[in-house]
Amino acid sequence: MATIRDVARLAGVSQATVSRILNKDETISVTPEVRLRIFQAASQLNYVPPRQRRAANAKKKLVIGVADWQIIRPDRPNVRLHSLDLLVRAANDKYETEFTRLVYGMPQAVDGIIAFGVFQPEEIAFLHSLSYAIVFVNSEQRNYENDQVQVDYQRGLEEIVSYLLDRKHYASVGYIGGIYEDPQEHRRIGGKRLQSLKDILSKRGQYQPSLFHVGTISRESGFELALEASRSGTLAKAVILGNDEVAEGAMEAFEELNLQIPKDVAVVMYQDIQTMESKWPGSTCIEMYPDYVWENALEMLFGRIEKTRLNQPVTIMIPAGIRIGDTA
């Protein structure tokens, strides 16, 4: 059986820090990355603090449905349910929560729902048939009939373009990304952020179509696009990578080409809202603040489930920003 010493060793912190974090000591000051690392270590080792073991039987059990079919292609689930388990453990002691991925048209027993993306009216009706407690994330609803958390990613794009052109003075800004389309299901993933970047650069007179490389949302596509951009001479001095999967392939290609980052090509990542985990923690990125998104969404959802929030639906707007790292 794992001990607190094992967790501390795996997380790279002291036993006292592990104890205070896992027991929800609000007086301790640590970074979100350290906090998450501790919960990941505890989860990996199946370690539960004695206090939580004693309280486990008293917790209310909730099943939360995650509707994410509008933000990612069906064969590549994007919301990592393991990350949500970690976040709930970090945020509250009241519930024992299980997350389950919902499938459109398939009834499932859930206590509440977090729904990602823009849904058709019939899809919203389906979600309401499963639960009255729903929080939409980045749904862009204009009727304000449901609780929503909205990330203003346009602001993040504007800030990163200003940083690259005005502060760093890169000669050009390009894009490597992917789009997934399913006309029958009314899905087009990845197109909006691409168009937004084109519009921002166009207003500055800096949009160069030849520097935009778009394929599918996959590691393989990112790899091939980056290789072709470099070999054809259409790789911008600064490149924004559209999502994690494309970024993984593009970074592999840059390494294979022996390109030094940021000397040969500056790279900007997207930290999407679907997970708090990041493959490139030291990178320059467009920051979506996923921990704030999830904390607000879960707080609103728990309030609806408990019926402590009986007021009108609320929309919370979270401005995206940028985090300066070592890649641009």
Q: Are 215 and 180 in contact (CB under 8 A)?
A: no
Q: Are 277 and 84 in contact (CB under 8 A)?
A: no
Distance CA 164, CA 174 (A): 11
Domains of the chain (ranges plus CATH)? 4-54 (1.10.260), 60-151+289-319 (3.40.50.2300), 153-288 (3.40.50.2300)
Q: Indicate if the pLDDT at residue 275 is higher than 80.
A: no
Per residue in 213-227, pLDDT (tens digit) is 999 888 899 999 999
Count CB-CB contacts under 10 A for residue 266. 19
Question: Which of 6-10, 90-94, 98-102 is predicted with the least confidence, judged by mean pLDDT?
Answer: 90-94
Mean pLDDT of the chain: 83
Share of residues in the chain with pLDDT > 70 (%): 82
Select the more confidently predicted residue: 261 or 291. Answer: 261
Report residue 307 as tokens: 């019926």
pLDDT given at position 276? 43
Q: Which residues, in sequence order, are bridge partners of residue 148?
A: 136, 315
Question: Which of 41-50, 248-257, 270-279, 290-299 is predicted with the least confidence, judged by mean pLDDT?
Answer: 270-279
The closest of 26, 20, 24, 25 to 4, measured between CA atoms, is 20
What is the signed CA dihedral for 265, 200, 156, 214, rounded to 10 degrees? -50
Distance CA 87, CA 70 (A): 23
Report residue 49 as tokens: 């603090």
Which element (helix H / strand E) includes 61? strand 60-67
When pLDDT is averaged across residues 242-258 and rounded to a whole number, the result is 91
Per residue in 106-157, pLDDT (tens digit) is 989 999 999 988 888 888 889 999 998 999 988 777 666 789 998 888 889 9
Report residue 76 as tokens: 């590549």
pLDDT given at position 292? 79
When pLDDT is averaged across residues 98-111 and rounded to a whole number, the result is 89
Q: Given pLDDT bands bounded at 50, 70 and 90, which one contains residue 92?
A: low
Cα R_g (the chain), whole angstroms? 21
